[in-house]
Chain A
Amino acid sequence: MNEGLDTSLTVVLAKLEKRFGGRLRKQTECCGDLTITVEPEDWMRVLSFCRSARELAFDQLDCLLGDHLPERTGAPFEVVVHLLSHTHGHRLRVTTPLAEGQDLPTITGLWPSAGFDEREAWEMYGIVFAGHPDLRRLLTTEDFEGFPMRKDFPLRGTVGGRIRTDLRGKI
């Protein structure tokens, strides 16, 4: 299954499997890219391992995304991080499924750049990142109602985002 992977990614996978064993839910490999799925409880441990282990050394967080998959009734949400290591030049995706209302520990302590990404994932999908220093709306106005990237949010009409803010403080 792993013949498409770079040697450094094979090392990454072996290391992760050795460290976390059966706790990794799934690993998929596509076009030479590796994706691992972890339980939300292991989120922090896996990611800090990714950041600190010498053979992994993922020193950059490319992006952190949310996702809404309503057909997965048990855990309709998903958080994905894309990691990049400048030392080894390899990339990794780590995802975790989340139930409605379940929160996830923030990773701003590992990569400070996660701050904006987590704010965006929160405002678009309503995924709460516990311990985030400043969880405010980022791209929508602060009195916006609802989470616009959820699949059940109405496509048409400026629902939730009508110009209701007091513009005076802003102009």
Chain B
Amino acid sequence: MGVMDDPLRRPSDAEVGAALQQNEVMGGPVRLPGGIALPVQIERVLGFGRSFSFWPLLFGLACCAIEMMALGGSRFDMARFGMEAMRASPRQADGMIVAGWCTIKMAPRVVRLYEQIPDPKWVLAMGSCAVSGNVWDTYHVVQGIDSLIPVDVYVPGCPPRPEALWQGLEMIRDRVKQSRHAYDGLRRIPAREVLLHGEPRP
């Protein structure tokens, strides 16, 4: 029983500890319900299909979200790439664009949204704030969202131009086609580490 099987269920301390003991690794090949791994060719076909309908989560944290909206609007128009359907529910999304700074108060909600997105999922950290905390080395800003969730693509800038975000999304699409995820090979997502030790790894 994996820690991540049911995101709604809160694992107990003992379960998290046991999963860590077993070195449970996330990601890996797509598996059918019986546990049989799909042949890699089929996974490539699936990835090809997915890359043309990547639906990000409709979710912006701060000022960077304005540029994300610009990308969604008609001038830059990410609908050209099948990304226009920003889903308001994490259950229907394929990934998230962390657009803006994440406060410590908001951090548990961001992690919860991340965990509610079904696998496979991809994360794009948009803006210097989500990448590293930017100038907000202050009392309430998480210094880089990658201390909490695994990030696929970093788009620096304050804010990044819509073209930069577009390029980041193109890089995400490459990863979708290749079925590569930031959480591949991770034993646990970093937020779980915070659960256990109280602090993210430096």
A residues adjacent to B (C-beta < 8 A): 139-141, 144, 146, 148, 153-171
Of A139, A146, A159, the residue contacting B105 (CB under 8 A) is A139
* Contact status A167-B108, CB under 8 Å: yes
Of A157, A163, A169, A171, which one neighbours B104 at CB under 8 angstroms?
A: A163
Taking a contact as CB atoms under 8 Å apart, the answer to whether B104 and A141 are in contact is yes
| A170 touching B138, Cβ below 8 Å | no
Nearest B residue to A138 via CB reads B105
Q: Are A167 and B105 CB-contacts (below 8 A) given A161-B139, A161-B140?
A: no
Q: State in angstroms the CA–CA spacing of A138 and B30 once bound together.
A: 42
What secondary structure prevails in chain A residues at the interface with B? loop
Residues of chain B touching chain A, judged by Cβ–Cβ distance below 8 Å, are 10, 103-105, 107-109, 111-112, 115, 137-143, 191, 194-195, 198-200
The reply to whether A163 and B138 contact each other, CB–CB distance below 8 Å, is no
In the assembled complex, the Cα of A148 lies from the Cα of B139 at a distance in Å of 7
> Is B143 within 8 A of A158, CB to CB?
yes
Given contacts A139-B105, A163-B194, 11 further A-B contacts (CB under 8 A): A141-B105, A144-B139, A161-B104, A161-B139, A161-B140, A163-B107, A163-B200, A165-B108, A167-B108, A170-B109, A171-B191
The smallest beta-carbon distance between A134 and chain B, in angstroms, is 17
B110 to chain A: closest residue by CB: A171
Closest 9 CB pairs of A and B: A170-B108, A161-B139, A148-B139, A171-B112, A156-B137, A167-B108, A161-B140, A171-B108, A171-B111
A170 to B112, CA, bound (A): 8
- Whether the Cβ atoms of A158 and B141 lie closer than 8 Å is yes
A153 to B200, CA, bound (A): 24
A162 vs B139: C-alpha distance when bound (angstroms): 8
The answer for the CA separation of A146 and B105 in the assembled complex, in Å, is 15
B108 contacts A158, C-beta separation under 8 Å? no
B21 to chain A, nearest CB (A): 18
Identify B142's interface contact among A160, A163, A169, CB under 8 A.
Answer: A163
Q: Are A167 and B195 in contact (CB under 8 A)?
A: yes
- Report Cα–Cα, A155/B139, bound state, in Å: 8
Complex Cα spacing A49 to B198, Å: 50
